[in-house]
Structure 1
């Protein structure tokens, strides 16, 4: 994850996550995990998140693949933010605005195809 997000991490785009904890809950039976920023790297944590974004794999892929407007996903309650909504909405906007041009082609194309197929 740190390699894929190396450019935005180096540019300080994840700085608001420093010392904060966000849980991503992939509600399709997948494990939930909490991330934080430490020493300019995303790290997994066992602490509970101050905010939680909950949704299925499809919704997260549609968000990353830009196949669905993120606000639509939230207004339709397909993605939910719980806890510190300011932190959760900041992460939603960050994910929506990620510049994917630096991602390896197969990763970009895989996300796009999976997201398209889940529409």
Structure 2
């Protein structure tokens, strides 16, 4: 009985938490979200920028859609990163926030999510694979320690919730 209740609560939290997070995100102007995203990418990919590894992104737009957060945007790279609302991406990555969190934290492999149909890649898939490989090469150690710790704790909590929500409890 306790396990069944815990499983139900975990399922509910996985459903409700993104809806709660989506509310404040929806009132933040896109320009503010874009500026944060552009600066974050510029910082995290500084080494790749110096090495010219982002040249394949010039004049190409990559869209990211996070349906459970009602969040979507596209980014491109020229002399610096640019973000805008989705208009004409070369490739679109789409996944729920929980799965993206696990990928970013290095707790889940994007290829696994793709084959489980939890990560969708639409458009130029060859280009999408280049982008995916670039993102996997990001050194999260470049983030402040507090952000690294938060990301790790959130990802571990997400893993626990997902595991707990799938627990089949047999009645005795």
* Aligned residue pair count: 118
1:15 to 51, 55, 72: 55
Q: Normalization by structure 1: what TM-score?
A: 0.87
Question: Which structure 1 residue ranges, 4+ long, deviate > 6 Å from structure 2?
Answer: none
- The TM-score normalised by the length of structure 2 is 0.62
Separation in 2 of the partners of 1:11 and 1:105?
A: 25
Moved more, 17-26 or 86-95: 86-95
Contact 1:25-1:55 at 8 Å conserved across structures: yes
Give the drift of 1:63.
0.9
Report if aligned partners of 1:63, 1:95 keep a CA contact under 8 Å in 2.
no
- 1:40-89 per-position Cα deviation (integer Å, ceiling 9, x unaligned): x1111343211000001111111111101221111111111001111212
Residues 1:67 and 2:82 aligned together: no
**Which residue is 1:33 aligned to?**
73
Distance 2:101 2:57 in 1: 21
* More off after superposition, 12-21 vs 72-81: 12-21
**Which structure would you say has the larger Rg?**
2
Higher share of residues assigned helix: 2
Residue in structure 1 matching 2:81, options 36, 42, 49: 42
CA distance in 2, matches of 1:71, 1:15: 24
Once residues 147 and 47 of structure 2 are traced to their aligned partners in structure 1, the CA distance between those partners, rounded to angstroms, is 15
Structure 1 residue 112 and structure 2 residue 152: aligned?
Answer: yes
Extract unaligned runs of 5+ from structure 2: 1-39, 160-172
For residues 108 and 10 of structure 1, the distance between their equivalents in structure 2, rounded to whole angstroms, comes to 24
Name the residue aligned to 2:98.
Answer: 58
